[in-house]
Structure 1
Amino acid sequence: MIAAAVSAVLGMVAGAAVLSGAAFAMETHTAPEKTIRVMTWNACGNNPGCKFYDNPTGLVGTVVWHMQNHGAYADAAIIQEFCRSQAVTLEARLEAAYGYGWDVRFAPIKVKKTDTPETSPNKQCVQGRGDYGIAIAVPDENTWWEPRYLPSPTNAEWRVAMCATVDSWWVKICNAHLSYNGDDPDYGFRTQQVAAYKSFVSPSRFRVIFGGDFNLQPPAVVGYAGGGMTPIYDEFVECAQADQSSPRTGPGTFYTTKPHDNSHMVKFDYLFADPPLPHTCGRVGGGPVESSDHMPIWMTVDMPAHVTGTVTRSASGGCLLLNGYWLLDGPSDVIHEGARVTVTGRVESGDHSGCQQGTALRVETAEPA
């Protein structure tokens, strides 16, 4: 879908779904195992102190470069400090670079002049580049997205979060850019924004990967009044953590000096996922990033298959099947012939001659659907 057409919709009232949640209702679905890499970057697209302030095309090209030049290509990206016109250009550049269709969804940050987003003006980028805000880049199968305006002070930037889904991955990807000290000197609004963003992301029927620029350091580094990032760390695992028991910290992402020096950074940028999902974390190696005052980071998540449907029995009667998978193990009180279930699992190779149908799937979780 063309980003310009999409972005016109995104000034809707806070919390209003662009597409009804009923659009998600489906009798069956099959999301095969997949490794998904998501990049987050505050691209500094409207800051006179950053390299591409006068070269928006160069900035878009740099976003694509970072998505493709740190090992495996990024499958999705969440971008902060971006302009509407750059989002349109990014979609075209990604399609040319990857060779398949992309959707780049854009949500404007507003100036909070009233109590409702639709009557408050969009903040503008410089030099006629359109609205200022955040973007999510995902494959063009995306059919649902939604902006959510977060608690923000009057006459300041009305911060926004946005989520989009990729059904074939069974994943919901979300982006947010929280207030900075100039608008929120005592961190009170950021405390509310963290809570509102978390409730927007979860609970969800999808697996989730989310993050952005939170303008907050990790709980192990700074103990903010109100808790800072703690509520999110309590429920999810952050990119820099091996698991939820790991220290709540991580390498710096925001440069505190000029010229940029990788030894003078603090962590403001985050990526989170559901804690059971295996993952790795990456950041730019070598010299400092010069194009922005933030460093891109990426999270690579190893997603098991996620399958919903009705369990059937094989023709031989020797095994249980679900959407073309032969289910190995799993709780018999949940997985039985005729049951509507959602399972996650990993494809298992080897000799499974007990069933002549389906691909063997070792069940990790199972619940009624």
Structure 2
Amino acid sequence: MRRTTRTGALLALLLTFLTLSIASSAQAGDVLTEKSAGRKYALQSKAASDNAGKPVCVSAEINDAGNQSGKLRARTNCSDPSSLGSWETFTLHTDDKGSHAALRSEANGLYVSAEFHDADSHFGMLRARQTDAIGNWERFELVDLKDGWYALQYNFTEGGTSQDYYVSAEVNSTGGDEGLLRARMTTTPGSWERFKLVPIPASSQPPTAASTPTRNIHALTWNTCSNNGDCPMYDYSADEFAYAVTQRAVAAQADVIFLEEFCEKLAKPLEQKLEATLDGGADTWDVRFAPIQYKVGTSHWAQKSCGANRGAYGVAIAVPAENTWYKAVELESPADTERRTALCAAVPTWAVMACTAHFSTGGSGYDDPKRYTQQAQATYLAQQVAQYSGYRPVFGGDLNATPTVTPDGSSEPVLQPLYNAYKECDQPANRPTKGSSKLDYLFGSTSATWSGCTIGSNTANPSDHQPLWGTVTLPAH
């Protein structure tokens, strides 16, 4: 949400229009997908080209009526991917660790289904229409055809019959169905069945940071455990979740909040609860999200699904509503495991780059048994949060390692690259935040000082991590 006193009346009017346009096209309870820093793609068809021979990409036609709404057609010139709109923008998702991928339309936040109960020319038609969790109709296999193109393969199983179908872009159809996407080809894929996932470029640089006097910033980090069936948070409604986080934010007097093990569809309810509860009122907070991913096919990444139909799974950050620039910082992770992430958001009037991170799980029996990857993630994060000219880093998260743990064969602790460059809130006490281990951290620049570092109470804690908060004082800048 936006604060009009900071952005100007004209910009606020435009942003309000865009927000209302997206919200009106989405089903109740769906995410506002512009809040996510996940990878976005256009789907280019090899079969289709416009009259000038330019590449053509697939659109989800959201404004069509009835059972035609959201149908996918190869119809839009995509010579310049940066110029494409929400109808041509998709994200990839997976609920089976990358074996299959689902497409979600950026225009309405809904998954693409292959509809096999329609008859005749619409049998197997692809539509952006699934409001619930990913199901069988939404799962496609990305088949690498080894020529720079992929096929989308769908397995239809019903009544004891199983058949694989490739998605076709039917460029010779007529009557308004030109380029209609249907899962219908059972033989070797031809040009109609060849597609590319073309990355949509994101903004690379934040706005210019302002000069600012000495400032105190109250920071809170919490792993909410909302995708772990053993934690109470997993069964919380959106309202219950937002209330639990806001309670901790009130205790911390939080100005910025870092959240891990977060489900995407909880972002908007949390934003509204923060605005209703904390000083400042409406239009004062933004909650941004970045997904943890799995590799699908040979070169693409799909967002890991959260349980209970709550969108993607990852990390989130709550910052003042002046924020307009945010970026996922993907962390190299062990092969064939989930790819972890960080998320940074600029607060220009503070000259602060606020970032949250969730490292891979290390130790015997986990993704990174010797913790070499964790150490590399710490080195990379230390570099990334400092790269934005004019901004001071304030960051935190669940780093899944204690301050003293070392990789096999190394005498330097896993997180030493961060301690070398930044000050940590609870140093040297290093009190535990999960069981008997300190896994959660708050860092600030070396010129900053921390005070009031607090570990939240274990009493009635709905997560397996305790929240950590403190106040960082940044000198004039």
User: TM-score, structure 1 length as denominator?
Assistant: 0.71
Greater relative CO (CA pairs within 8 A, separation 6+): 1
Q: 2:250 aligns with which of 63, 68, 81?
A: 68
| 1:294 counterpart = 2:294 | no
1:156 alignment partner, SS class = coil
Q: Residue 269 of structure 1 aligns with which residue? A: 440
Task: Quote the offset at 1:304 in angstroms.
Answer: 2.6
| 1:89 counterpart = 2:265 | no
Separation (CA, whole Å) in 2 of partners of 1:42 and 1:162: 14
Q: Residue 285 of structure 2 aligns with which residue? A: 102
Equivalent positions of 1:37-186 (< 5 A) are: 37-57=218-238, 58-70=240-252, 73-98=253-278, 99-100=281-282, 101-113=284-296, 116=299, 119-181=300-362, 182-186=366-370
CA-to-partner distance for each residue in 1:115-161, whole Å, 9 max, x for gaps? Answer: 65xx2221111111110000010011012111011111232111011
* Compared CA separation, residues 178 and 285, structure 1 to 2 (3 A): closer
CA-to-partner distance for each residue in 1:36-72, whole Å, 9 max, x for gaps? Answer: 01100000011111112111321221011100024xx
| 1:234 counterpart = 2:234 | no
> What amino acid does structure 2 have at the position aligned with 1:278?
T
Separation (CA, whole Å) in 2 of partners of 1:211 and 1:299: 11
1:237 alignment partner, SS class = strand
Larger radius of gyration: 2
Separation (CA, whole Å) in 2 of partners of 1:175 and 1:52: 20
Q: Is the 8 A contact 2:286 2:319 kept in 1?
A: yes
Separation (CA, whole Å) in 1 of partners of 2:35 and 2:336: 23
2:407 alignment partner, SS class = coil
CA-to-partner distance for each residue in 1:177-203, whole Å, 9 max, x for gaps? Answer: 011132111112212211221111124
Q: Is the 8 A contact 2:223 2:259 kept in 1?
A: yes
* Compared CA separation, residues 270 and 286, structure 1 to 2 (3 A): closer
* Compared CA separation, residues 239 and 31, structure 1 to 2 (3 A): same
> What amino acid does structure 2 have at the position aligned with 1:111?
Y
Task: Quote the offset at 1:234 in angstroms.
Answer: 0.8
Task: Quote the offset at 1:109 in angstroms.
Answer: 0.4
CA-to-partner distance for each residue in 1:1-23, whole Å, 9 max, x for gaps? Answer: 4672433452259x9983232x5
1:163 alignment partner, SS class = strand
* Compared CA separation, residues 111 and 69, structure 1 to 2 (3 A): same
Task: Quote the offset at 1:92 in angstroms.
Answer: 1.3
Task: Quote the offset at 1:283 in angstroms.
Answer: 2.3
Which structure shows the higher helix fraction?
A: 2
Q: Is the 8 A contact 2:456 2:468 kept in 1?
A: no
Separation (CA, whole Å) in 2 of partners of 1:51 and 1:17: 38
Q: Residue 402 of structure 2 aligns with which residue? A: 217
Separation (CA, whole Å) in 2 of partners of 1:208 and 1:64: 24
Separation (CA, whole Å) in 2 of partners of 1:65 and 1:171: 24
> What amino acid does structure 2 have at the position aligned with 1:275?
T
Q: Is the 8 A contact 2:293 2:302 kept in 1?
A: yes
| 1:280 counterpart = 2:451 | yes
Identity level (%):
36
Separation (CA, whole Å) in 2 of partners of 1:56 and 1:76: 23
Q: 1:198 aligns with which of 382, 386, 389?
A: 382
Alignment coverage as a number of residue pairs:
281
1:197 alignment partner, SS class = helix
> What amino acid does structure 1 have at the position aligned with 2:419?
Y
* Compared CA separation, residues 114 and 253, structure 1 to 2 (3 A): farther
Task: Quote the offset at 1:25 in angstroms.
Answer: 4.1
> What amino acid does structure 1 have at the position aligned with 2:291?
P
Q: Is the 8 A contact 1:41 1:295 kept in 2?
A: yes
Q: Residue 345 of structure 1 aligns with which residue? A: none
Deviates most, 284-293 or 163-172:
284-293
User: TM-score, structure 2 length as denominator?
Assistant: 0.55
Superposition RMSD in Å: 2.3
> What amino acid does structure 2 have at the position aligned with 1:229?
L
CA-to-partner distance for each residue in 1:233-276, whole Å, 9 max, x for gaps? Answer: 011111112xxxxx4x6000012xxxxxxxxx210001111122
Consecutive unaligned residues in structure 1, runs of 5 or more? 242-246, 256-264, 307-369
* Compared CA separation, residues 8 and 24, structure 1 to 2 (3 A): closer
* Compared CA separation, residues 88 and 187, structure 1 to 2 (3 A): same
1:157 alignment partner, SS class = coil
Q: Is the 8 A contact 1:16 1:146 kept in 2?
A: no
> What amino acid does structure 2 have at the position aligned with 1:207?
R
Q: 1:11 aligns with which of 10, 33, 39?
A: 39
